[in-house]
Structure formats: structure tokens, C-alpha cells
Structure 1
């Protein structure tokens, strides 16, 4: 049984050397960005009644727009590169044997189930617990006419772009995602030397774009402060309540994945629910304290030993899970997109919901090994674009991603151990 190395990275803000990303070392100013959000909102609330000069408001708005545009310009090239790398890695994993294929089948079921659950349940949750009125200020900079609701035939026709360059120029993410997914699979069918050359190009492209987005995110405190100032002026103190509501709703979708990990372990895993819950506690403690699946890997391996899993299974499945699997990605990323859709009054038809789930599934492959603030941008941006949802609010929501990210890491680590347990038990069956 072969092995595939995990990319050395974590959710908390670092990409360390490993598997093609050795040129990149990013440390994100997470605390400063959050401070910029709070300071901007507070300043806007305090100065809401002041008669500020028009040029002052225009200058602050310009800073925010420039930072937002710089953030958006990295989405398509970075998504393209990471999709090709991630999907080619999955194809290689599928060829590693029956254990790898069983693992891939399980993670596909988890990812698809999470996305479908969110698409169905989140609108109902927002009906039961409506978004606070103050949230409307987050949409002031959104251009009108951002969505045209497609019919079923229009949706099917949109799956294939006759001109991929035009599709990129128009940021039509669904056909772009399908194209690069097919491109990645096609690379694995090439002669080895040709495939290596192409993958080397995409490794270099990913590294380059990560450097660029690292520069952009270093400016996040200033950009977020400028955007938050405008929101504070428009929304008043209600903006803080809106952010708290958003964090709770999105984290709730991650909590569902966490609960699903226990169900999976109890039904398909080894040792039963009580033993699993005890065994996974040390890994969960590391996950909460570090917000890093990679840093939690030794603790996950220890949890696997406590469960009595084969060393060969744990040492193959868990590093591979760290490299290509984030159980919460489709559920929580789609939750963010749907939350913004509710803010903007965008009608999410069944066709639009299907587009969102499909893109969320595929994009999760390309962003799994990136820091939370980076994966937030390149994972949710394509989903929102594919669904016709404005992406402007993402520039502010990224500032509070460190809070839902705790739930992401906790659920991801728990699900990794649960999947390893299920795969190991599957090896016992004929």
C-alpha cells in the first residue's frame, strides 16, 4: 500500500515546506485583521451622526475597494492551480489500492452529505432565526443586478463553456471548475514526464499566487478597517450582532459534521461510540489549541492506536486525510455563501443550489491544505460566483474566520479519526 505525503500547512496561518510549497511561508496578521474589523465598526458607529467631508468618505471607501479588488484578482489562477494539484493527487491515491479507494469513497460521501445537508437546512435555519437588521450594511457596496435566476435548461447549458478564456474573464466559475477538473484527470493519463512537467508548472503557479495573496492579506488590517468603517456608518451597533449571528449559524453547520463523525464511528468504525469518544479527546484538544490538522496528526495517530487500529491503516489514511480531506469544507463554505445570499435577497433555486454543492465539492479538493484565511477566500469566492451571489461581504467576513475555524479544525480532526476507524474495520470484512 503506497503513501502520499501531506502538504505541510495548517488552518492557523502558516504554510511550511513540503510537497511543492517550499517557496511559500505565510504568516497572516489574523489578530490585527480582527482588530481592524472591530476598530472600523466602532469608528463608524461613533461617527455615524457626524457631518464628515465627502472626500473623507470617498477616500476610505477607495481603500476598501482597492483591497477587495486585489483579493478578487487572485481567485481564478489560484483555484485553477490548486484544483489541478489536488485532483491529480486524489487520482494517484485511488490507484494505491483497495484501502485508498475505500477511504476516498467515505470522504466523498461525507463531503457530499455535508453540502446537501447545508443546502437544505440552512435556509430553514435562517427562517427560524432571521439575520439581524444591522447586517444590511454589509451589502452597501454590492452592485445591483448581480444575479439572473437560470432555468433548468440554461443551467445545464452553462456547465460547458465554449470559450474558457471568456469564461475566466466573466468569472463564470461552474464551467471553469468542470474544465480544470477534467484537465487534472487528463494530466494523470499523460506519459509520466509530460505529466510531471505540467504539474510542476501548476506547483509554481500556486506558489506564485500564494505569495501574491500573502502580500494582499498582509494589507488586510487596513482594507478591513476601511470597509468596516463604512458598514459601521450604515448599520450602527447592529453590525456586531449580525457578525455574532453569522458566526453561530456557520459554526452550527460544522457542529453537524462533528456529530456525524461520532455517528460514523459508532456505526462503521471499531470499538463503539464510548471508546471512540475517549480515544479522540487528545486529538480534539490539540485541534482546538492549535487550529491545525497538521499539528494534530501525531495526536490523531495516538487516538488511532487507542482504538486498536492497524498501524498500516492509520499511517496511510490519516496523513492522506490531512493532505486532501476537510470534512467541513462543503458544509461550512456553502453556509457562508447561502448566508450572503439571504443578506442580498438572492433567490436560491434548486438549480443554483445544485451548482453551489457541485462547486463546493470540487473546490474543497483544491483548498484543503491552506491556512483558513486563504482557503476562505478561494473556496467561498468560486461558490458564490457560481451561484450568482455577491462576494463583496467576504472581505469583511474573512476577519472573523478565526472563530468558525476552531469548529472547522475540531470537526475535521474528529472526522479524520472516524474515517480511519471505518476504513480499518472495512479491511476486516471480505
Structure 2
């Protein structure tokens, strides 16, 4: 299925919609109820498999990413610039998404949570009743937040029992914090000790990526099983209600792709953004088609070196690192998705809670494997950390429109990596005449 994942997933989505509509058209009792219930069972297995990956995938990827930096030759100046640019661009991407989702409010209809989407985001009547209670007690627009909210956030970053925190939905931010500290501490160990731990966590992360690929290989079946009950309950109205959310994500990605990143190229790199767009067109098309920044890496390297003129030294350092830790589009998407779900469920997120979302999106985007739909794992983590009810059902309902968004955000991720290579190259004194602002520039 390699290279054709999106067609299989889109096919599964269309088949699920068709089956659900057929079942809805049949009079009650005229078809076996086990069809829908069987889909629910298969969908539950798929969800459990993904949830199983959350903690080990995030822990191994964050530790391996941070610890691995310490062993890179010439990391000091070049690494500092690269990481600095990636942190800046990811933060800007998240803020763009945060502003637009709060302005557009795609989860609301006439100022109230969408009933159709709430139905799709609920797994059972019992959890729906609990969500309704949460909606009433925390109605949209309620800004009465205690000053302790932000203090509680920082307390959650430092759990007294890291193993208990790994199993506590509200303490996953502490697991990420511990992983960051653990990774940094590894770089301070003597050479042999440090390298053995780096090798261990990098190998462990590779194992988790392989397992993630196995689980995602079943995505067409899982998505089919998940979407059938959702469409059976809501009909095609779900897609109409998701249209505003879909456009909000696209608008956010488009703003970052066409405004934020070109502005960084112009201001920090002093190059022509339009010329760089032209230089990267092949890599961007590859990223859009495969939805995998890792699979696109060879094309990205060739485009940045041959078309943009970045040296092999700079490109070979910044781009592989970016394919691992820099996920502008993914971080933006995670932020918009979580705020959208909160709006649908009638949860008003104050400054403290939205700060949690921003920090979590920034950190988990580092740990997201560069493979199709892997950000679903991170979205589950952030939703659970934010204590949003029906988090699992909501995350999987979003899959109904996820695939085209996944293709778009991967293109943003790859373009962000290439922008970092150009900006760092310019800061290192490379001329890059192919991207010169003036036509006759040397």
C-alpha cells in the first residue's frame, strides 16, 4: 500500500459513507443490527491500538530527538540557529491557528455548540449526558477563570510519580516535560554513556515508528469501521457541519504557508520567497501526494541544494533534523482541532487551558512521526491533557475530513524545513544567487 495510502483511505471513507447511507435508508429492523455494532467493535480495536502508542511513541521520540542533538558534529552554532528557527516558525504557526479558530469558531452554530457534531463526538448516551452537563456548567463565553489555572498547569508539568502520570490523562504534559529533561541530561553524560543511551532511545523510537506504521496500515479498515456508525447516526449532515472546520484549518495553513514563512524568508534570509516557491515545487508536490515528510526528504534535499543553492553541509544538517522535529503544519492542525472539539463540546477554554494546548501542540509536534495521519496520536494526547469529554470519539470523528488536510499540512511541514535551510544558510554567509532579491544580484 506504500505510496497509495491516501487512495485506500479515501476509498474506505467513501465506502463507509455509502454503506451507512444504505443502512439509514432501510426500514428499522430490516437489517441486522450487528452490522453497525460490528463496525463499532472493529473501530474500538483500531482506537485502542492507537491509544496504546501514545506514551511510548512520545517518550522515545522526544528523548531520542533531544539527546541525538548532542552528538551531532558542529551542533553548537548551526544547531542553535536551526532549532531557534524551528521553534519560532512552529510557535507562529500555532498562534495563527489559535487566532483563526477563535475568530471563526467553527464548532459553533449561532453562538451555540453544533448538535450534529456533538452527536458525532459522543460514543454512548451515557457519555453524551455527561458531556451535556459539562456544556451547561461551562457554557461558551464563560470567562470566569481562577488565577490558579496557570499555576495548576505548571504543577502538572512536574508530577511526583512519572509512571502514574503516564497512565493519567491529565498528567501527560508531565511525561513530555520529563522526557525533555531526560533527553537534555543524556547530552551531559560522558561520551560512552551518552552514546549508549542515545542509541537505545533512537532504536526504541525506530521500533515505535515501525509499530505505528503497522497500525496505520490498518487505517483504511479502521476508518471504515469508525465512520459507518457516525454517518449512520448523523447522515451527510456531518460533512456539511465539518465544512467550516475544514476551511478554518485550510485558511490557517494557507496563511502560514503564503504569509508567515515567506515573511521569515524575506526578513531573516533576505531572499526572494517567490523564487524559493519555484525551487521547491517538486518537493511540495511529493509531500502533498505522500503525506509523509520522511518519504519526501530525498526530494527536499535535492531541491534545496540544486534549485535554491544551499550548501550540502547546511542542507544535510537542517533538513533531516527538520523532518524529525519540525512540524509547523502539524502543530497548527493540532491546535485548531483541539479548540474546535472544545467548542463543539461546549467547553470554554480560558488562557491557562489554551496555553496548555499551545505548549502541548509545540512539544508533541516534535514527537510526531513523519508518516501519514500520525498526528492523530498527538491530538488524542492533547485532548486528554485538556480534560475535554468524549476526546476519543471526537478525535476519530475528525478523521472524516482528515486526509486532504493531512496532505496540505505535510506540504507546509516540508516547506517550513526548506525555509529553515535557506535562513540558516544565509546566516552562515552563503550567497544563494538563485534566490537573490534583485535579478542581477551576484
Fold in common (TM above 0.5):
yes
Residue 90 of structure 1 contacts residue 324 of structure 1 at CA under 8 Å; is this kept in 2? no
C-alpha distance in 2 between matches for 1:170 and 1:365 = 21
C-alpha distance in 2 between matches for 1:370 and 1:299 = 14
Q: Deviations over 1:266-318 (max 9, x none)?
A: 22224334433433334334433444434354455444544444443334333
Taking a change above 3 Å as real, the CA distance of residues 383 and 94 of structure 1, as seen in their structure-2 partners, is farther
* CA displacement at 1:396 relative to structure 2: 4.0
For 2:405, the equivalent position in structure 1 comes to 404
* CA displacement at 1:107 relative to structure 2: 1.1
Q: Normalising by the residue count of structure 2, what TM-score does the alignment of the two structures yield? A: 0.80
C-alpha distance in 2 between matches for 1:29 and 1:268 = 37
C-alpha distance in 2 between matches for 1:285 and 1:31 = 16
- Aligned ranges 1:100-179 → 2 under 5 Å: 100-126=79-105, 134-141=116-123, 143=127, 145=130, 151-171=149-169, 172-179=171-178
Taking a change above 3 Å as real, the CA distance of residues 329 and 216 of structure 1, as seen in their structure-2 partners, is closer
Residue 122 of structure 2 contacts residue 393 of structure 2 at CA under 8 Å; is this kept in 1? no
C-alpha distance in 2 between matches for 1:197 and 1:28 = 37
CA RMSD of aligned residues (A): 3.1
For 1:266, the equivalent position in structure 2 comes to 266
Q: Deviations over 1:208-227 (max 9, x none)?
A: 43444444334333332232
For 1:42, the equivalent position in structure 2 comes to 18
For 1:350, the equivalent position in structure 2 comes to 351
C-alpha distance in 1 between matches for 2:200 and 2:278 = 45
For 2:321, the equivalent position in structure 1 comes to 320
C-alpha distance in 1 between matches for 2:107 and 2:159 = 39
Q: Deviations over 1:371-429 (max 9, x none)?
A: 022x2222222222221231323234346433112212322232223222222222239
C-alpha distance in 2 between matches for 1:308 and 1:428 = 12
Query: What secondary structure does 1:177 align onto?
Result: helix
Query: What secondary structure does 1:73 align onto?
Result: helix
- Aligned ranges 1:289-304 → 2 under 5 Å: 289-293=289-293, 294-295=295-296, 297-304=298-305
Taking a change above 3 Å as real, the CA distance of residues 214 and 271 of structure 1, as seen in their structure-2 partners, is closer
- Aligned ranges 1:226-241 → 2 under 5 Å: 226-241=225-240
| 82-91 or 307-316: bigger deviation | 307-316
C-alpha distance in 2 between matches for 1:155 and 1:327 = 24
Q: Deviations over 1:103-122 (max 9, x none)?
A: 21111111112222322331
Taking a change above 3 Å as real, the CA distance of residues 108 and 62 of structure 1, as seen in their structure-2 partners, is same
Q: Deviations over 1:103-151 (max 9, x none)?
A: 2111111111222232233121226985865433321216355779872
Aligned length: 403
* CA displacement at 1:93 relative to structure 2: 5.0
- Aligned ranges 1:10-409 → 2 under 5 Å: 29-48=5-24, 50-52=27-29, 57-93=36-72, 96-126=75-105, 134-141=116-123, 143=127, 145=130, 151-171=149-169, 172-259=171-258, 260-293=260-293, 294-295=295-296, 297-367=298-368, 369-373=369-373, 375-389=374-388, 390-398=391-399, 400-409=401-410
Residue 84 of structure 1 contacts residue 183 of structure 1 at CA under 8 Å; is this kept in 2? yes
Residue 100 of structure 2 contacts residue 252 of structure 2 at CA under 8 Å; is this kept in 1? no
Query: What secondary structure does 2:24 align onto?
Result: coil
Q: 5+ unaligned residues in a row in structure 2: which ranges?
A: 139-144, 431-442
C-alpha distance in 1 between matches for 2:42 and 2:319 = 43
Q: Deviations over 1:193-243 (max 9, x none)?
A: 333333343334334434444443343333322322221122111122234
Residue 372 of structure 1 contacts residue 401 of structure 1 at CA under 8 Å; is this kept in 2? no
Residue 173 of structure 1 contacts residue 382 of structure 1 at CA under 8 Å; is this kept in 2? yes
For 1:422, the equivalent position in structure 2 comes to 423
Residue 360 of structure 2 contacts residue 382 of structure 2 at CA under 8 Å; is this kept in 1? yes
Residue 74 of structure 1 contacts residue 213 of structure 1 at CA under 8 Å; is this kept in 2? yes
| 387-396 or 88-97: bigger deviation | 88-97
* CA displacement at 1:85 relative to structure 2: 0.9
Residue 297 of structure 1 contacts residue 319 of structure 1 at CA under 8 Å; is this kept in 2? no
